[in-house]
Amino acid sequence: MKFKKICFLLLVVFALTGCVKQNVEMSIDKDGKVNMTIVSAIKKEYAAEGEEAIVSKKVLEEMGFKTETYDQDDYLGIKATKNYQLKDISKKEEILVHLEDIGSEDFHDEQLFQVKQDNFLGTRYKGHFIFEFSGVPTQTEQTEDSENSFEVSYKVTLPCKAKSHNADKVEGNTLIWNVTYGETKEIQYEFVMNDKSLYVYSGITVIAIALGVGIALYIRKKKAN
């Protein structure tokens, strides 16, 4: 908890200067492989304060993340990646994942998704995340240049079209949420793996049409006799 408070205070300091990049990205393929990529960086002009100004490289590596130095677009920091199997990080219990906890001891990845339905039609999953910036100075205290260089986001690429979501932006099967400094961003989406509903409903429709045609022909034949 102490480490989380330190990270939070550092995040406030750097965010007020408008030099923060905090991106969380997930990709889920049709076989249920989940890749999580985290980029946590600050402007190079503030790099003397340390690469781990927002997240702890040590904590991430202890959790099984592979880390490397992030050095792009005038930002310096950490890039961390980890692979999962969707079934291993999904349970029936509801879950709300606090993304601001990433890089601290308070972040746990034993469960990241909820299984809402699991039957012959497929498995329906729900992602429910939150990025909380409430309780810090508002963005009005930043300069216009600082505001333009504040970049916090969550992105997920699904193997199919989402059944529901509240994303800010959609690019094909990719959902994107952009976080405004000083706000709490709640992220929700649902998707179905191995979705057989189209085949089932199509089969039912074909059977219904066949029965209708058969009944109609039977009635016509009977009238003719």
42-98 tens-digit pLDDT:
888 776 554 444 567 888 999 999 999 999 888 888 999 999 999 999 999 999 999
Residue 41 pLDDT: 87
125 and 41 share one domain: yes
**Domain count of the chain?**
2
Q: Which of 42, 40, 15 is nearest to 139 (CA)?
A: 15
* 42 and 72 co-located in one domain: yes
Q: Is the pLDDT of residue 130 over 70?
A: yes
Q: 189 and 143 share a domain?
A: yes
* Whether residue 181 is found in the same domain as residue 208: no
> Do 215 and 113 have their domain in common?
no
Residue 144 has pLDDT above 90, yes or no: no
Reading the block at residue 106, the tokens are 């308070």
Relative to beta strand 20-28, strand 33-43 is: antiparallel
177 and 131 assigned to the same domain = yes
> Is 202 in the same domain as 179?
no
pTM of the model: 0.76
Beta bridge pairs of residue 185: 131
153 and 205 belong to one structural domain: no
- Calculated CA dihedral for residues 70, 75, 76, 78, nearest 10 degrees: -40
What are 3-27's pLDDT values in tens digits? 343 344 344 444 444 577 889 999 9
Q: Is 219 found in the same domain as 131?
A: no
Range of the domain at 207: 196-225
pLDDT of residue 149: 56
| 75 and 161 share one domain | yes
Q: Domain check: are 122 and 202 in the same one?
A: no
DSSP string for residues in the chain: -HHHHHHHHHHHHHHHTT-EEEEEEEEE-TT-EEEEEEEEEEEGGGGGG-TTSSS-HHHHHHTT-EEEEEEETTEEEEEEEEEEEGGGGEESS---EEGGGTTSTT---S--EEEEEEETTEEEEEEEEEEE-TTS--GGGS-HHHHHT-EEEEEEE-SS--SEE--SEEETTEEEEEPPTT-EEEEEEEEEES--HHHHHHHHHHHHHHHHHHHHHHHHHHHH-
Residues 203 and 118 in one domain: no
